[in-house]
Amino acid sequence: MSGTLAIIGRPNVGKSTLFNRLVGRRLALVDDRPGVTRDRREGEGRIADLTFAVIDTAGLDDAPPSSLEGRMRAQTEAAIAESDVCLFLVDARSGVTPLDRHFADLLRRSGKPVVLAANKCEGRAGESGLYEAFELGLGEPIALSAEHGEGLSELYDAIAPHLGGEAADSFGDEHEADGEDDEEGPHALRLAVIGRPNTGKSTMINALVGEDRLLTGPEAGITRDSIAIDWTWRGREIRLYDTAGMRRRSRVTEKLEKLAVADTLRAVRFAEVVVLMIDATQPFEKQDLHIADLVAREGRACVIALNKWDLVTDKRGVRAELEEMVDRLLPQLKGVPIVTLSALTGKSLDTLLPAVLHIYEVWQQRLPTAELNRWLSEALQAHPPPAPGGRRIRLRYITQVKGRPPTFVVFCSRPQALPDAYRRYLVNGLREAFDLWGVPIRLHLRKGD
């Protein structure tokens, strides 16, 4: 062990959850000395190859309200004093509260290194809170989800230099604990295959996994339940989530339809990369569009598999038509990879996984702030922002706050006044400059001069 990390924050931000994730099943040393230390736990934390002591200042909820602040303060001060680095946790879902500001002041005054993290950042619910956390003046917040094990590699990079380790650039997300699993070990890429019934999802999964794991048949909706399959493809661990797909309202009861929609949503949320299966012999429909839009809204990476290619005669025409539709109707996923294949014959099936792995890398990529700002100044010069009311809107600074999907904050003199078209210009510019094709991009404007 090479140092001590104190987890600091007000009640309910997720300190204990993070403590448990870091300490895992390794036995926590219970400190039973009387006094302030009664409320805290210590244990041996670990992220990948980095081991350290962790102090969790939890258990304050039982304190009588009158003494809450006093006890919290004494405890927190003791933990800060013993630590080499403080991890200051805020709750991205509830935003920054006065009590958070109070802790921020305490930490700033302590002179200890502070790493700021916004917890509960899985999905999109935490995004606005993440940006609010900038206002605490403790640097760029790390987007964490203690519950789902997300953001641990960023946490590693931030705390390692203070704990006798090194910030390793090569340390990627594959070292993150799997969201479903407390055990250490390589992270299985979570993949879901979704699409309308009868597009060939089960046939493809069977062909890929090489076993008759699912029942396939000509009737729509024969595979009714969601199934997760663990499998290894060229040495890469993959956890596959299969769904029955969405069923058309006209063919089934509404209840079943709702179930299927919920199932697709669950699959999308489970997945890091989603394969959207389309039957090349059927026209691209509203329902396909809805599914693709869901994938983009949930911020997942996507590959479109255009299946039953063996049945298509006008291959060039069909492909061009789909490309045109996707470009026009799915700007959120501009440049999404489209793979044509035949699940039944196996033709071109081997092109799917390389496309999946590629888009996964794009999706979780982190871009250096310096390069982003160089790009921003060029983009501003090429096409200056408008000047409503005679005052030009100023864009000062851009930084990527997280990957999975790529999420950026731009500091702007008048965020409300910047037209949507200009925001789109910036998003498209980022795609082109940094090859971010085919993944949703989040771009947030924050007021800042």
Nearer to ligand GDP, 187 or 201 (CB): 201
The H or E element that residue 22 is part of is helix 15-23
Gap between the Cα atoms of 128 and 117, Å rounded: 14
Q: Which stretch binds ligand GDP (CB under 6 A): 95-103, 210-218, 229-237, 423-431?
A: 210-218
Tokens for 135, please give them.
């206002």
With vertex at residue 403, the alpha carbon angle to CA 399 and CA 407, rounded to the nearest 5 degrees, is 50
Nearer to ligand GDP, 68 or 417 (CB): 68
Is residue 153 near ligand GDP by the rule CB under 6 A?
no
Gap between the Cα atoms of 81 and 111, Å rounded: 10
Give the count of alpha carbons within 13 A of 251, CB side only. 10
The answer to whether the CB of 190 falls within 8 A of the CB of 182 is: no
Q: Which of 77, 174, 257, 310 binds ligand GDP (CB under 6 A)?
A: 310
Binding residues for ligand GDP restricted to 250-309, rule: CB under 6 A: 307-308
Give how far Cα 70 sits from Cα of 89, 145, 267, Å. 19, 29, 46
Q: Least separation, in Å, of the C-beta of 15 and ligand GDP?
A: 3
Q: Least separation, in Å, of the C-beta of 196 and ligand GDP?
A: 7
Gap between the Cα atoms of 81 and 15, Å rounded: 18
Gap between the Cα atoms of 34 and 55, Å rounded: 16
CA 122 to chain centre: 6
Site string for ligand GDP, 113-142 (x = CB under 6 A): ------xx-x--------------------
Gap between the Cα atoms of 155 and 144, Å rounded: 8
Is residue 203 near ligand GDP by the rule CB under 6 A?
yes
Q: Least separation, in Å, of the C-beta of 91 and ligand GDP?
A: 7
Q: Which stretch binds ligand GDP (CB under 6 A): 46-54, 195-203, 296-304, 319-327?
A: 195-203
Q: Least separation, in Å, of the C-beta of 312 and ligand GDP?
A: 10
Binding residues for ligand GDP restricted to 228-247, rule: CB under 6 A: 245
Is residue 197 near ligand GDP by the rule CB under 6 A?
yes
Secondary structure (3-state) at 195: strand
Gap between the Cα atoms of 370 and 398, Å rounded: 9
Give how far Cα 338 sits from Cα of 50, 243, 277, 359, 438, Å. 40, 20, 10, 11, 10
- Kindly tell me the sign of the dihedral angle through the C-alpha atoms of 40, 42, 46, 49: positive
Is residue 15 near ligand GDP by the rule CB under 6 A?
yes
Closest listed residue to residue 128, CA positions, set 448, 449, 442: 442
Gap between the Cα atoms of 431 and 327, Å rounded: 14
Count residues near ligand GDP (CB under 6 A).
Answer: 36
Nearer to ligand GDP, 199 or 364 (CB): 199
Q: Which stretch binds ligand GDP (CB under 6 A): 214-222, 261-269, 298-306, 361-369?
A: 214-222
Is residue 342 near ligand GDP by the rule CB under 6 A?
yes
Q: Which of 13, 96, 160, 326 binds ligand GDP (CB under 6 A)?
A: 13
Annotated binding site for GTP: 9-16, 56-60, 119-122, 195-202, 242-246, 307-310
* Residue entry with tokens 């509260």: 97
Is residue 390 near ligand GDP by the rule CB under 6 A?
no
Nearer to ligand GDP, 58 or 295 (CB): 58
Q: Which of 17, 75, 340, 364 binds ligand GDP (CB under 6 A)?
A: 17
Closest listed residue to residue 54, CA positions, set 37, 79, 32: 79
Nearer to ligand GDP, 275 or 445 (CB): 275
Q: Which stretch binds ligand GDP (CB under 6 A): 4-12, 23-31, 254-262, 360-368?
A: 4-12
Gap between the Cα atoms of 331 and 289, Å rounded: 11
Single-letter amino acid, residue 134: F
Annotated binding site: 9-16, 56-60, 119-122, 195-202, 242-246, 307-310
Is residue 86 near ligand GDP by the rule CB under 6 A?
no
Helices 254-270 and 286-297: crossing angle in degrees, nearest 10, is 40
Q: Which of 1, 2, 12, 180 binds ligand GDP (CB under 6 A)?
A: 12
* Residue entry with tokens 């921020």: 104
Residues lying near ligand GDP in the complex (CB under 6 A): 9, 11-17, 58, 119-120, 122, 145-148, 197-203, 216-218, 222-223, 245, 307-308, 310-311, 342-344
